[in-house]
């Protein structure tokens, strides 16, 4: 048994983490542009007023804006069949509220897409990936306001129309379920409550986040419908941060705690986007947590008419759930839970679990029976450039190899897995910490946490390895 013949091998990135050129050609300020650098132990800060001598990693990032030809040529050299990237909303509508789009922004993505197509690389576009126009935070407190639905749909319409016939695969929101926890409040929804200073300690109002999710569900459903109307060939997917939870013990109390956590954190958003209605278990969760969702009469029908065509998710780690509140939370695991004693962790505390990927793929497919793509996976690690200029990232190869082996198992289990785009196929800025030092790429970029570096690109050992993986369609690992 093997991967499908036309399996989509590739890589994934996001605009705010690699493009740079943050204020070039009419681009507006996004929420990520006001985040400073940070480290594993020092959280990045959120600064509504830009500070003069502070380093903002998104402002130059790895300057993909001016290197995209070189970078896409490298992706093509690895044999990519698909490239997942995001469009910066602020390049198209700098504040989110303009009447007409910024032509220079559209032209840039036309160029990126054409460059992909030149090499027969299928573009997979994330419409919104962690970078709301900051103006929409200031004016509306982000997605907590219903106003954002129309603004988002207007933005989608421009993209679907402009890139019709060139882009077939779309994702409406990156890791939409990140907003089931406090860290997604600002990152994903642009909600900035008074008193918030840094990314790790946001002043959190769950009511706003869950109301914001409702607005995003409606926006996503409207976008799916519109995408199909504009071009029936369009395929639109959801994108879920999947951090699989196991019960810490077989104590039924732990099993139930785990089920509830999986429901709320991992399943809730996908259940709505795939099935078009709120799952029953959320009614109880909302009631017990004092959350009231304000919905309009037409919302139920909008959700029903906007079910996604395929399911995508990111997978980096798993965790455990327990009913015992005194147990310590697992480090680095953004959706909570406690550490699994059977697993090792990355340098950033993310617990590595390849078999969990097989388990997760089966769980998702059992539930929905629609095509699945893994659109993020990978190891954030420190890389060292040797004196001869080579980079031996065998730890990354090992991580990826073990995950691909489990993808193969899942395929043999009958899961309809259609693609795989490992995260940060070229080194880029970390979303959680703002670091460059946390590298994921097959391609190294000479850029460092103090802002220095000549931006040159170097192929890592994993570059050559992944090239073989792709050319053998996953047989040569
Ligand atoms: C996902 C995001 O959460 O994980 C990416 O969609 C992010 O934007 C990736 O970069 C890895 O996380 P980090 O914090 O290591 O960059």
- CA-334 nearest atom, ligand 1: 3
For residues 421 and 84, the answer to whether their CB atoms sit within 8 Å is: yes
Q: Domain 8-248+262-315+353-471 is in which class?
A: alpha beta
User: Atom 14, ligand 1: which residue's CA is nearest?
Assistant: 432
Q: Tokens for 218?
A: 């409606």
In 178-271, which ranges are E strands?
A: 235-241, 244-247
Domain ranges of the chain: 8-248+262-315+353-471
H or E element that contains 55? none
Q: Give the number of C-alpha atoms closer than 13 A to the C-alpha of residue 337, restricted to the C-beta side.
A: 32
Ligand 1 geometric centre to CA of 40 (Å):
13
Q: Ligand 1: which residues within 6 Å by Cβ?
A: 14, 17, 130, 174-175, 241, 314, 376, 380, 423, 430-433, 438
Ligand 1 geometric centre to CA of 100 (Å):
31
* φ, ψ at 93 (rounded to 5°): -125, 100
Contacts of 55 (CB under 8 A, 6+ apart): 36, 37, 450, 451
Kindly provide the b/e burial profile for residues 426-460, where b requires at least 16 CB atoms within 10 angstroms of the residue's own CB. bbbbbbbbbbbbbbbbbbbbebebeeeeeeebbbb
Print pLDDT tens along the chain (477 aa): 689 999 999 999 999 999 999 999 999 999 999 999 999 889 999 999 999 999 999 999 999 999 999 999 999 999 999 999 999 999 999 999 999 999 999 999 999 999 999 999 999 999 999 999 999 999 999 999 999 999 999 999 999 999 999 999 999 999 999 999 999 999 999 999 999 999 989 999 999 999 999 999 999 999 999 999 999 999 999 999 999 999 999 999 999 999 999 999 999 999 999 999 999 999 999 999 999 999 999 999 999 999 999 999 999 999 999 998 787 666 555 667 898 999 999 999 999 999 999 999 999 999 999 999 999 999 999 999 999 999 999 999 999 999 999 999 999 999 999 999 999 999 999 999 999 999 999 999 999 999 999 999 999 999 999 999 999 999 999
Q: Which residues are catalytic?
A: 175, 376
Q: Give the number of C-alpha atoms closer than 13 A to the C-alpha of residue 83, restricted to the C-beta side.
A: 31
In 242-387, which ranges are E strands?
A: 244-247, 310-314, 318-321, 372-376
- CA-438 nearest atom, ligand 1: 15
Ligand 1 geometric centre to CA of 258 (Å):
24
Q: Tokens for 377?
A: 């996976």
For residues 440 and 378, the answer to whether their CB atoms sit within 8 Å is: yes
How far apart are alpha carbons 128 and 15 in whole angstroms?
Answer: 9
For residues 208 and 141, the answer to whether their CB atoms sit within 8 Å is: yes
DSSP 45: B
């Amino acid at each position: 048994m093997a991967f499908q013949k036309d399996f989509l091998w590739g890589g994934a990135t996001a605009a705010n983490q690699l493009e740079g050129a943050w204020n070039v050609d009419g681009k507006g300020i996004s929420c990520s542009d006001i985040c400073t650098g940070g480290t594993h132990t020092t959280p990045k800060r959120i600064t509504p007023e830009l500070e003069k001598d502070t380093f903002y990693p998104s402002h130059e990032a790895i300057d993909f804006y001016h290197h995209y030809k070189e970078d896409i040529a490298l992706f093509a050299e690895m044999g990519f069949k698909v490239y997942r990237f995001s469009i910066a909303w602020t390049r198209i509508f700098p504040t989110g509220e303009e009447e007409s789009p910024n032509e220079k922004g559209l032209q840039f993505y036309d160029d990126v897409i054409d460059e992909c197509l030149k090499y027969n690389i299928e573009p997979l576009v994330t419409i919104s990936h962690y970078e709301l126009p900051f103006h929409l935070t200031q004016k509306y407190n982000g997605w907590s306001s219903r106003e954002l639905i129309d603004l988002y749909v207007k933005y989608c319409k421009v993209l679907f129309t402009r890139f019709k016939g060139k882009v077939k695969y779309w994702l409406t929101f990156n890791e939409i379920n990140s907003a089931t926890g406090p860290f997604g409040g600002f990152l994903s929804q642009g909600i900035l409550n008074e008193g918030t200073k840094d990314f790790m300690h946001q002043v959190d109002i769950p009511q706003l986040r869950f109301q914001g999710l409702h607005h995003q569900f409606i926006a996503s459903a409207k976008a799916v419908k519109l995408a199909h109307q504009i071009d029936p060939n369009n395929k639109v997917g959801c994108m879920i941060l999947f951090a699989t939870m196991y019960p810490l013990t077989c104590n039924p109390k732990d099993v139930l705690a785990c089920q509830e956590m999986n429901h709320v954190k991992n399943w809730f958003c996908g259940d709505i986007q795939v099935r078009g209605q709120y799952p029953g278990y959320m009614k109880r969760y909302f009631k017990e947590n004092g959350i009231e969702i304000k919905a309009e009469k037409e919302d139920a029908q909008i959700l029903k008419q906007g079910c996604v065509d395929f399911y995508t998710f990111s997978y980096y780690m798993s965790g455990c759930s327990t009913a015992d509140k005194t147990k310590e939370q697992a480090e680095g695991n953004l959706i909570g839970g406690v550490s699994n004693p059977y697993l090792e962790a990355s340098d950033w505390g993310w617990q590595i679990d390849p078999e969990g990927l097989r388990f997760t793929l089966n769980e998702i497919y059992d539930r929905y029976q629609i095509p699945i793509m893994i659109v993020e996976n990978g190891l954030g690690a420190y890389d060292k450039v040797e004196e001869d200029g080579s980079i031996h990232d065998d730890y990354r190869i090992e991580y990826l190899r073990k995950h691909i082996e489990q993808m193969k198992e899942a395929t043999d289990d009958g899961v309809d897995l259609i693609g795989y785009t490992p995260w940060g196929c070229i080194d880029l800025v970390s979303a959680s910490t703002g670091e460059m030092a946390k590298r994921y790429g097959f391609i190294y970029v000479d850029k460092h946490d103090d802002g220095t570096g000549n931006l040159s690109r170097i192929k890592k050992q994993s570059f050559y390895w992944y090239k073989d993986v792709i050319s053998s369609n996953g047989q040569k690992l």
